[in-house]
Amino acid sequence: MLSSRQQQEIRACCETVSFDVSMAAYSTFKAGGPAAALADVQNQDQLAALLEYCRREAIPWRVIGRGSNILVTDSGFNGILFRLGAAFRTVGLKNESEPEVVAAGGGCLLADLLGWCRRHGLGGLEFLAGIPGGVGGAVRMNAGAFGHAIGELLHSVSIIGADGVVKQKTADMLSLGYRCCTVEGYDPNQAIILSVTLRLQPTDGEQIARDMQNYMLQRKKNQPRGVPSAGSFFKNPENDYAGRLIETSGLKGARVGGARVSPVHANFIINDGGEASAADILELMHTVQEKVKKETGIFLEPEVHIF
């Protein structure tokens, strides 16, 4: 863990920091071990100072966004986890000359972005309705559903790496794939999306609201509600669905401790009762991977980031 000197120096970079923090409180899984530090970074100056400090002290770091697609192991993370604060949660038009291009901070909630787009009659992102993450994480994962992905609408990103240098990248400079978005020269886990621009389509606000509601209804019908999870746990293999493979392998409802394969949708591992440890979840993950591999020959890759 961090020494008292390091804690004091980190606090000088960013006042809104906590130490020895249980990540169960900051993950939608409601499970996970401690982080040595959790910093709510309020502006770019604080972020640059923290990155410089981590570089100088050789302290590991990661961005966790809204905690909706992560699992920290029970042994914890011996470094600093960042969350982007108020200065990174803005949304608005990029400029008046391009009324269809929206600029959103990397820390902006998807729900806030969608609400802004509905009010201003800009459509295209409705398929993201109900996804609980933030903009930066959604772009990092090229989040998608119902045959669409956010990468289809990307215009540009502003990104900062471990060296503290901010660069602008247009969409054609990104490598977009299924549940991934990478930039040449950057370690995906050592790059922070500060903001993005998205090219949308003028659309009637009421139509946007109806489409969002329809997508939400589909999610409620087919996905577990009211229980802690990280959303879809495994990536879908090419030309198939992880949930189908798990179900046909006889694992729907399988349990390890407090972790359970959802009886509603087999590609959701849920923290049933809120008492699961990260170890329970990981053991169940391995059980699913081994059984599906044995039954189908397909190895399921986690979509959730585990560290």
The catalytic residues are 179, 232, 303
- DSSP E strands, 151-302: 154-161, 166-170, 174-177, 180-183, 191-199, 201-202, 229-232, 255-256, 259-261, 268-271
CA distance 125 to 211: 10
Residue corresponding to tokens 């959701």:
268
CA distance 182 to 169: 11
Q: Strands 70-71 and 259-261, how do they pair? A: unpaired
- Angle (CA) 222-225-226 rounded to 5° is 175
Contact status, residue 200 vs residue 125, Cβ threshold 8 Å: yes
Question: Which amino acid belongs to residue 199?
Answer: R
CA distance 126 to 133: 14
How many angstroms separate the Cα of 188 from the Cα of each of 137, 159, 182? 11, 11, 6
DSSP 95-140: -TT-TTEEEEETT-BHHHHHHHHHHTTEES-GGGTT--SBHHHHHH
Contact status, residue 247 vs residue 257, Cβ threshold 8 Å: no
Contact status, residue 105 vs residue 194, Cβ threshold 8 Å: yes
